[in-house]
Amino acid sequence: MTSWQSRFAAASADRTGAYEQVLVPSLFHPWACLLVGQLDVREGSRVLDVACGPGTLARVLAGEAGVSGTVTGTDISPAMLSAARAKPVAAGAPQHYLLTSAAPLEGVLDGAYDLTCCQHGLQFFPDRPAAIAEWYRVTASGGNIAVAVWSPLSHNPAFAALHDAAAAVFGDDIAAAFTLPWSMCGDEVAALLEEGGFTEIRHRRRTLPTVFPGGIGGLRTVYRFSPIAGDIQSLTSNAEKALTRELTSRLEPFVHNGVLSMPTRADLVTARRP
Ligand SMILES: C[S@@+](CC[C@H](N)C(=O)[O-])C[C@H]1O[C@@H](n2cnc3c(N)ncnc32)[C@H](O)[C@@H]1O
């Protein structure tokens, strides 16, 4: 595991509250709805959501799979799974949550799922081919797979501005925290799936706005959830002002009437398990 991968895993454990309150509605739930809208989830499907976080995608999938289906969410973070379990049960398929790494997927049986999904999780895994080998193992023959990753920072200028503001205040080493989530592109995912034995690979790019109604202030939550939260907390008041200045000037093109709306591009890749 790289140091940033382990620091992101720790961030998941420590700051689930901020993630739930701000990042789920602004970022993850809209993507979950978009991803599921691209899939043909049949009534009665057995669905797996790997790196499910607080169950955002799992809950949307449950509505599609219906009461005769099942949805299992897995994650390495006990805090994320506690947040998922604490929510009122979503309508549709019963949802179960399982604590496991992405590879191995402990406790998940061979060929047990008709559809395996992973939304904005693959880029955090220390061994991506091993995770894909696990998806192949647990997906039934003829079943489907759906993966979403954010496109690289070069295609996400508003998130690149977050990186650049952090670099200006903390330096490049700390700002590197803002590269891991945007470290994969769809072609790379597609190539990994092909190497892993999947067929009928289809790659789409989609853009959604990530909206922070509180303007630049809402962004503090992104930083609070990120692995640089400790660095932010230890800022002197001058450095804090410098960070606010950097963010304000770099994100100004994305603020309208006090609302920050960051265009966000992701790559969605689907494939079939032969
Ligand atoms: C950006 S969040 C996405 C969560 C969820 N898929 C969603 O769309 O809301 C990434 C998730 O990956 C999980 N994760 C990171 N590394 C992991 C690993 N090696 N195995 C399993 N889950 C992991 C984290 O705990 C976190 O919940």
Question: What pLDDT digit, counting tens, does each position of 161-193 carry?
Answer: 988 988 998 888 888 877 888 999 999 999 999
Residue nearest to atom 19 of ligand 1 (CA): 125
C-alpha closest to that of 65 among 48, 50, 49, 45: 45
How confident is the model over 230-259, as pLDDT tens digits?
777 777 778 778 888 888 899 999 999 888
CB distance 36 to 60 below 8 Å: yes
For ligand 1, is residue 56 a contact (CB within 6 Å)? yes
Q: Residue 4: its pLDDT value, please?
A: 52
Provide the token pair at 220.
């503090």
Q: Are strands 46-50 and 70-75 parallel, antiparallel or unpaired?
A: parallel
Q: Residue 197: its pLDDT value, please?
A: 98
How confident is the model over 35-61, as pLDDT tens digits?
999 999 999 999 999 999 999 999 999
For ligand 1, is residue 72 a contact (CB within 6 Å)? no
For ligand 1, is residue 16 a contact (CB within 6 Å)? no
For ligand 1, is residue 53 a contact (CB within 6 Å)? yes
How confident is the model over 62-108, as pLDDT tens digits?
999 999 999 999 999 999 999 999 999 999 999 999 999 999 999 99
- Per-residue CA distances from 117 to 39, 90, 105, 250 (Å): 10, 18, 13, 34
Cβ neighbours of residue 126 closer than 8 Å, sequence gap 6 or more? 1, 2, 5
Which of 124, 182, 268 for mutating ligand 1's site (highest number of atoms within 8 Å of CB)?
A: 124
Helix (H) or strand (E) holding 113: strand 113-119
For ligand 1, is residue 9 a contact (CB within 6 Å)? yes
SS3 39: coil
CB distance 218 to 260 below 8 Å: yes
CB distance 145 to 271 below 8 Å: yes
C-alpha closest to that of 139 among 37, 51, 49, 35: 49
For ligand 1, is residue 116 a contact (CB within 6 Å)? no
Biggest distance spanned by C-alpha atoms of the chain: 59
Q: Residue 6: its pLDDT value, please?
A: 59
Stated length of the chain: 274
Cβ neighbours of residue 25 closer than 8 Å, sequence gap 6 or more? none
Is the pLDDT at 2 greater than 90? The verdict is no
What is the reported pTM?
0.92
Cβ neighbours of residue 23 closer than 8 Å, sequence gap 6 or more? 221, 222, 225
How many whole angstroms separate alpha carbon 191 and alpha carbon 184? Answer: 11
C-alpha closest to that of 181 among 144, 217, 222, 129: 222
